[in-house]
Amino acid sequence: MTPINPEVVTRLLTEMEQAVGKLNVLSSLSQDEFLSDSKYYDSAKYNLIVAVESLIDLCNHIIAQKRLGKPEDYGDILRIAGKELTLNADFIKSLEKMAKFRNLIVHLYWKTDNAEVYNILKNNLGDFDKIKKSLQEYLTR
């Protein structure tokens, strides 16, 4: 078993925090304002991708270093890492939905509903803080 690399963790947490910070700024807009200008929803989509990708990379790093298995997809990564981090099943499902939405933005971008992006900004950004706290607790064990 290889130790978790603190430099990798710090870099990825910083990327996630910066993206979530930008998303928090966008979440202060009204829905009408957010939906009226592509610079807002395009920025939100990009920063959601960065935040989710950073989270996935962090989880994948833990899985690889701890030799917890070979995940098949993002859902597997979150389930395996979630179990290791002792996250509850509902929270893991919430993270999986976020990863699926990231895939929608990247691969089926024309089907992305900008109102749903706004909904995520208003209701799900706290998930990133929650997972960050869980990761930090895990890394100090």
Q: Give me the pLDDT at residue 74, please.
A: 93
Cα separation values, 111 from 34, 71, 140, Å: 18, 27, 41
The Cα 124–Cα 116 span in angstroms is 11
Please tell me the distance from the alpha carbon of residue 32 to that of residue 42, in angstroms, as a whole number: 15
pLDDT on residue 2:
81
Q: Residue 30 above 90 pLDDT?
A: yes
Q: H-helix or E-strand containing 46?
A: helix 38-66
55, 131 contact by CB (below 8 A): yes
Which residue, among 32, 30, 75, has the nearest Cα to 55 in the 3D structure? Answer: 75
pLDDT band at 140 (very low <50, low <70, confident <90, very high): confident
* Residues above pLDDT 70, as percent of the chain: 100
69: which 2 tokens? 């298995």
Kindly state the average pLDDT of the residues 111-134: 96
- Report CA torsion sign: 34, 39, 43, 45: positive
- List the CATH code of the domain at 6-139: 1.20.120.580
Quick one: pLDDT band at residue 3, thresholds 50, 70, 90? confident
Reply yes or no on whether the pLDDT at 1 is more than 90: no
Beta carbons of 95 and 131 less than 8 angstroms apart: yes
Closest CA to 74 of 106, 42, 47: 106
pTM (2 d.p.): 0.94
pLDDT per position as a tens digit, 44-81:
999 999 999 999 999 999 999 999 999 999 999 999 99
User: What's the mean per-residue pLDDT of the chain?
Assistant: 95
Indicate whether 103 pLDDT > 80.
yes
Indicate the domain borders of the chain.
6-139
